[in-house]
Structure 1
Amino acid sequence: MSIYVGNLSYEVNQEDLNEVFTEYGTVKRVHIPTDRETGRVRGFAFVEMESEADEDKAIEALDGAEWMNRSLKVNKARPRENRSSFGGGGRRNNRF
């Protein structure tokens, strides 16, 4: 499982997040999504920790905490939705 970390500063980097979350246990991975076009940080990240107990400690301590002049939103990450690239509603043979 992983942790969703929202309302992050656009100046945040992996080392910053690793440092903060290491206080609550072993961090396995930090992923900070960036905008495809601009390369700019999107304001949220995902952190994977060694154990669920470590994740729970981090969530309890950091959700709502003030960090880098922002109030963090920290919770269990929801599973990624399976999005199909074949969206509905298109025309087929000039018919709806």
Structure 2
Amino acid sequence: MYAVIKTGGKQYRVSEGDEIFVEKLNANADDVVTFDQVLMLDSKVGSPYLSNVTVEGKVLKNGKAKKIRVFKYKNKSRSNRKTQGHRQPYTKVKITKING
């Protein structure tokens, strides 16, 4: 059994036992989170979401992704050069149960 859930503006295909990286959630490690925006369950498709279907997961850890460097400059101008780094925060979740 699998489901398609929506969280953090992205969609994920999950089944029980999967470990996924999602955008940062307001939860600590070992907390239980519930995803109620379920778009699809096996062959049932919601419009836009399925009612009475939830996906439960356990937060494994919160962290930051690998650093990326963004370099901006303007052509023919030596004073307008800028380097900036960014690390996107994430939450690692293990899917424990699909209710539906």
Structure (1 or 2) with the larger CA radius of gyration? 2
- Per the TM superposition, whether the score is higher than 0.5 is no
TM-score, normalised with respect to structure 1: 0.28
**Higher helix proportion:** 1
TM-score, normalised with respect to structure 2: 0.27
